Amino acid sequence: MAMENKTAAFEYAPAPESRSVVDIAPSYGLFIDGEFTEAADGKVFKTVSPSTEEVLSEVARAGAEDVDRAVKAARKAFEKWSALPGSERAKYLFRIARIIQERSRELAVLETLDNGKPIKETRDADLPLVAAHFFYYAGWADKLDHAGFGANPRPLGVAGQVIPWNFPLLMLAWKIAPALATGNTVVLKPAETTPLSALFFADICRQAGLPKGVVNILTGYGDAGQALVEHPDINKVAFTGSTAVGKAIARSVAGTDKKVTLELGGKGANIVFDDAPIDQAVEGIVTGIFFNQGQVCCAGSRLLVQESIQDELLDSLKRRLSTLRLGDPLDKNTDIGAINSAEQLARITALTETGEAEGAERWSAPCELPSAGYWFAPTLFTNVTQAHTIARDEIFGPVLSVLSFRTPDEAVAKANNSQYGLSAGIWTEKGSRILAVANKLRAGVVWANTFNKFDPTSPFGGYKESGFGREGGRHGLEGYLDV
């Protein structure tokens, strides 16, 4: 037979998404009061593509003076914006949502370039969710009377919002969509390593004819973020990021009447019982910890597996990890992209070294790492106990810690034995066990036989040091209403 005994493998030829769909300017200003403007002190910083270390653009670096200017613009815009009927605000949000959909390919490529995550994810997860979030909250804008907060709930005023680099545009959507729907105006600071998609969003606001000052974007570092949350004329602080910064924010707003929502770190437990659908559990574990290179606050970074199936599950998991394709994030067949920054790569490297030093057994998928850029091979640790640093600290990278348990009670106890409480997963074919275990888990999201599934209708947020307040769904309105 012609094909018999052949040894050729099915090698996928490169299939890169075209960069030409996005036009990145050599420099960008701050977006204040509907205009792009330089920083008051003229400072700029460079943003690089993490997969190549190529400089993508130079953006203005906001300082305290710029923060003040932006807050004033937002304050000025608030009066008219909040007075608009909800149905009018909805029109703007629907328009923004549609423009995002129309420009989704461009934005997906941009996000992949600036963040390092695979185009597969920006195309199939980030951008559809961004548009869905604006559509969803557009729908609420004229129905706030029926949201369960009494008649005619009032907005808070100016919201200061600081977002992380792991889902730059999606986190922007989580912050801006509910704020605008409820009648607030915003000043948003994207992370310093991923400023570009927020600046493109500023352009979308102009395209949608959004009134000046309703959305202001300040690119910059932590000092700008600090100046923003400490500004005396903001009414609301919304932050997504590390627990350390979250604590600092909580301290700085103590004693003020600013309303605060914090979405912080996590160390999600993904619990696999012996009656789990094994092949799908393996997929769920992969999605749980290797989606976005594990740089996800709700990542399933702790695998809790019933001891009776541990070997079998790990064999399957390792086999599956060996098929992950790491490389050019713009290639449509790439599963694992680049780590967002040299700093984050150093943190992941340091924590994995601690894991080895503390006696856990390290296994990495066999794959070649590109020579330029920031890369980390998908890794798992076995022989991990609750006492290991890698079982307690958030690594925020493609590193899975595998622990075992014997009984459902032990699984729950170990899952809850964490300073965090953001997400958890349960894998079992037994429905009654799903319900019983989910009720006992102290986590803001519990996924059953799936992981890392997001929907704008579903509230998201944490217990314990994972933060407070909820974003998404009807609950997400509360953080932006004076109720």
Partner 1 sequence: MPPPLPGGAVEAGRWLQEEIYGSPVREASIPCHSGVTDLTDRHLHSGGCTGSYARRYAHLVTMPTNAPAAAFADATASDGALRRFLHGLPGIDPVGLEARAASLGTRSIKTSAKVYAIDLAISMIDLTTLEGADTPGKVRALAAKAVHPDPTDRTTPHTAAVCVYPDMVATAKEVLKGSDVKVASVATAFPAGRAALPVKLADVRDAIAAGADEIDMVIDRGAFLAGHYLKVYEEIAAVRAECGEQARLKVIFETGELSTYDNIRRASWLGMMAGADFIKTSTGKVAVNATPANTLVLLEAVRDFRAATGTQVGVKPAGGIRNTKEAIKFLVLVNETVGADWLDNHWFRFGASSLLNDLLMQRQKLATGRYSGPDYVTVD
Applying CB under 8 A, does 449 fall inside the site for partner 1?
yes
- Taking the complex as a whole, the smallest distance from the CB of residue 290 to partner 1 amounts, in Å, to 13
Q: Tell me which stretch binds partner 1 (CB under 8 A): 4-12, 102-110, 154-162, 348-356.
A: 4-12
Applying CB under 8 A, does 15 fall inside the site for partner 1? yes
Does the footprint of partner 1 cover residue 102 (CB under 8 A)? no
Looking at beta carbons only, is 10 or 357 nearer to partner 1? 10
Q: Is 297 a catalytic residue?
A: yes
Q: Is-catalytic flag, 263?
A: yes
Please work out, in degrees rounded to the nearest 5, the angle formed at the alpha carbon of residue 480 by the alpha carbons of 476 and 482: 125
What number of other Cβ atoms are within 10 A of residue 358's Cβ?
A: 16
257 lies in the binding site for partner 1 (CB under 8 A): no
Q: Which of these is catalytic: 17, 121, 192, 297?
A: 297
Stretch binding partner 1 (CB under 8 A), from 151-159, 207-215, 318-326, 396-404: 318-326
Judged by beta carbon, residue 4 or residue 257, the one nearer partner 1 is: 4
From 17, 111, 192, 263, active-site residue: 263
Q: How far apart are CA 93 and CA 176, in angstroms?
A: 10
Query: Of these, 44, 64, 278, 438, which contacts partner 1 (CB under 8 A)?
Result: 278
Shortest approach of partner 1 to residue 276 CB, angstroms? Answer: 7
Q: What are phi and psi of 278, to 5 degrees?
A: -60, -45
CA distance 408 to 367: 36
CB closer to partner 1 out of 120 and 259: 120
Cα angle for residues 221, 227, 228 (degrees, 5° grid) = 90
| Structure token pair of residue 80 | 């008219």
Report the alpha-carbon distance of residue 247 to residue 256 in Å, rounded.
Answer: 15
Distance CA 167, CA 115 (A): 8
52 within 8 A of 60, measured Cβ to Cβ: no
Minimum distance from residue 324 beta carbon to partner 1 (Å): 10
Which of 41, 124, 233, 307: binder of partner 1 (CB under 8 A)? 124
Q: What are phi and psi of 401, to 5 degrees?
A: -105, 125
Nearer to partner 1 by C-beta: 252 or 333? 333
Cα separation of 361 and 358, whole Å? 9
Nearest Cα neighbor of 381 from 405, 357, 364, 397 is: 364
Asked if 307 interacts with partner 1 (CB under 8 A), we say: no
122, 167 contact by CB (below 8 A) = no
Helix (H, G, I), strand (E, B) or coil at 159: strand
Stretch that binds partner 1, among 46-54, 261-269, 296-304, 311-319 (CB under 8 A): 311-319
Catalytic residues: 263, 297
Q: Which residues bind partner 1 (CB under 8 A)?
A: 1-15, 120, 124, 275-280, 283-284, 311-313, 315-316, 318-319, 322-323, 332-333, 429, 449-450
